[in-house]
């Protein structure tokens, strides 16, 4: 038992000696290595840090401050240089007006001078540009104002039948190959309307007789004349938005004596002077000019160009012969005739330019 205990003590002492020896050796080496590493690190860091601080801070800030003032001074110099030539450019403008503006204004005044011959010239185009809508004219769906009686028209039976066929169905006056021109077309082509029912009567009878003579018609085939009342589809459209001029008697006289081309050219220039398109302008004139000191024997007339047929229609006509009396025609239509019904009294209402 004692020998066993002694052996155990010996083993423990041996083990203590064995494990105790390498520990300080290893620790000393590791300490030396760590110390060397720390020393090497401490040596490297101080060498790099001062180099970075000296290179970045002072050298980069200095040049930026020096460049900014240079750009400012350059801008100031360029601005002063540009302002100088502007003053020199404005000064020479005082000299040319002596010759140039006088030359430019002279032709402008020459072009305006002929326009002053017009009596009225500023109103019309804006209102005339408005057109009647298709549904207002053809079908009467959205008609804004009632129809208006505007005069009488004389024609032949077949032509009147075509007019009434369109008018009674709510459509505007159709454009026919023949039958809508005046007797001599002194105001141009179109539908001629008068305020004198006697003139419409005589023209209807004369047109029927002329057709019968040319086509050798007689008996049952003989044509008869028709007097029709002409209406504006829309009173507002006719009164306010249809261009109209009144041809003076002097111009109408030159038209009859000097030829149709001379008269129509003067009428067209009159329409243009008012700001109207001659092809869309309704032209009024006296029927019989007469002579000085003598009263007129008939009323007035106007011609509706084909471009304005969409504003009128014919719905009612009466058959007439040479024996038909004026009173019968007036009773049939229930209208007044010239001189009670006179286009001259409607110049203001219908905005007729003179």
pLDDT in tens, 147-165: 999 999 999 999 999 999 9
Element (H, E) at 190: none
pLDDT score at 145:
84
Give the closest residue to 253 by CA, choosing from 245, 262, 244.
262
pLDDT score at 136:
44
The mean pLDDT value for 126-144 works out to 45
- Give the list of residues 6+ apart from residue 182 with CB closer than 8 angstroms, or none: 190, 192, 301, 303
User: Quick one: pLDDT band at residue 335, thresholds 50, 70, 90?
Assistant: very high
- Give the list of residues 6+ apart from residue 221 with CB closer than 8 angstroms, or none: none
The CATH number of whichever domain residue 165 belongs to comes to: 3.90.175
Of the listed ranges 225-229, 253-257, 286-290, 349-353, the one predicted with least confidence: 253-257
> Is pLDDT above 70 for 353?
yes
d(CA 239, CA 190): 19
pLDDT score at 151:
97
The mean pLDDT value for 326-337 works out to 96
The mean pLDDT value for 216-225 works out to 90
**DSSP symbols for 261-329:** HHHHHHHHHHHHHTT--GGG-EEEEES----TTS--SS-EEEEE-GGGGGGEEEEEEEEE-TT--HHHH
Is 63 contained in some domain? no
pLDDT score at 12:
76
pLDDT score at 298:
82
Strands 148-156 and 225-232, by their bridges, are: antiparallel
Is 33 contained in some domain? no
d(CA 275, CA 123): 7
**DSSP symbols for 195-221:** S-HHHHHHHHHHHHHHHHHHHT--GGG
- Give the list of residues 6+ apart from residue 200 with CB closer than 8 angstroms, or none: 152, 153, 154, 194, 227, 228
The mean pLDDT value for 156-185 works out to 83
Cis? peptide before 255, omega within 30° of 0: no
Mean pLDDT for the chain overall: 73
165 or 88: whose pLDDT is higher?
Answer: 165
Is 319 contained in some domain? yes
Strands 300-304 and 191-194, by their bridges, are: antiparallel
> Is pLDDT above 70 for 112?
no
User: Quick one: pLDDT band at residue 288, thresholds 50, 70, 90?
Assistant: confident
Could you list the residue range(s) of the whole structural domain that residue 284 is in?
Answer: 125-346
Element (H, E) at 89: helix 22-90
Is 189 contained in some domain? yes
pLDDT score at 181:
58
pLDDT score at 38:
46
pLDDT score at 287:
86
Is 58 contained in some domain? no
User: Quick one: pLDDT band at residue 104, thresholds 50, 70, 90?
Assistant: very low
**229, two tokens:** 């009342």
> Is pLDDT above 90 for 28?
no
pTM for the model stands at 0.60
75 or 292: whose pLDDT is higher?
Answer: 292
> Is pLDDT above 70 for 132?
no
pLDDT score at 191:
94
Q: Distance of CA 291 to CAs 124, 249, 295, 296, 300, Å? A: 33, 11, 8, 8, 16
User: Quick one: pLDDT band at residue 300, thresholds 50, 70, 90?
Assistant: very high
- Give the list of residues 6+ apart from residue 233 with CB closer than 8 angstroms, or none: 132, 136, 137, 140, 143, 147, 172, 310, 311, 312, 313
> Is pLDDT above 50 for 141?
no
The mean pLDDT value for 25-37 works out to 45
d(CA 182, CA 220): 27
Is 260 contained in some domain? yes
> Is pLDDT above 60 for 193?
yes
Is 181 contained in some domain? yes
Give the closest residue to 325 by CA, choosing from 197, 203, 161, 236.
197
> Is pLDDT above 50 for 76?
no
Q: How many domains does the chain have?
A: 1
Measured in residues, the chain has a length of 354
Q: Taking a C-beta distance cutoff of 8 angstroms, is the pair 266, 255 a contact?
A: yes
> Is pLDDT above 90 for 201?
yes
Q: What's the pLDDT tens digit per position in 39-66?
A: 444 444 444 444 444 444 445 444 444 4
Is 64 contained in some domain? no
> Is pLDDT above 70 for 126?
no
User: Quick one: pLDDT band at residue 254, thresholds 50, 70, 90?
Assistant: low
């Amino acid at each position: 038992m004692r020998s066993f205990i002694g052996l155990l003590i010996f083993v423990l002492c041996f083990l203590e000696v064995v494990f105790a020896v390498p520990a300080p050796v290893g620790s000393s080496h590791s300490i030396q290595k760590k110390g060397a590493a720390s020393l090497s690190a401490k040596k490297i860091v101080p060498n790099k840090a001062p180099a970075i601080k000296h290179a970045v801070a002072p050298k980069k800030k200095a040049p930026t401050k020096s460049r900014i003032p240079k750009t400012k001074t350059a801008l100031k110099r360029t601005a002063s240089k540009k302002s100088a030539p502007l003053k020199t450019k404005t000064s020479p403008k005082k000299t040319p007006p002596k010759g140039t503006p006088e030359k430019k204004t002279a032709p402008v005044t020459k072009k305006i001078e002929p326009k002053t011959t017009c009596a009225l010239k500023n109103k019309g185009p804006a209102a005339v540009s408005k057109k009647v809508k298709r549904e207002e004219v053809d079908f009467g769906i959205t008609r804004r104002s009632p129809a208006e009686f505007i005069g009488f028209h004389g024609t032949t039976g077949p032509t009147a039948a075509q007019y009434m066929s369109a008018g009674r169905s709510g459509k505007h006056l159709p454009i026919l190959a023949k039958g809508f021109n005046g007797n001599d077309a002194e105001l141009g082509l179109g539908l001629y309307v008068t305020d004198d029912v006697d003139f419409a009567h005589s023209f209807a009878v004369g047109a029927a007789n002329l057709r019968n003579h040319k086509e050798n018609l007689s008996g049952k085939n003989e044509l008869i004349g028709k007097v029709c009342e002409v209406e504006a589809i829309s009173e507002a459209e006719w009164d306010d938005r249809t261009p109209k001029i009144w041809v003076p008697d002097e111009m109408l006289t030159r038209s009859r004596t000097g030829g149709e081309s001379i008269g129509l050219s003067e009428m067209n220039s009159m329409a243009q002077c008012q700001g109207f398109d001659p092809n869309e302008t309704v032209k009024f004139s006296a029927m019989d000019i007469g002579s000085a000191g003598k009263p007129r024997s008939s009323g007035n007339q106007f011609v509706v160009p084909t471009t304005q047929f969409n504003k009128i229609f014919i719905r009612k006509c009466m058959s007439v012969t040479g024996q038909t009396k004026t009173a019968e025609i007036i009773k049939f239509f229930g209208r007044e005739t010239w001189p009670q019904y006179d286009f001259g009294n409607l110049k203001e209402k219908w905005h007729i330019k003179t």
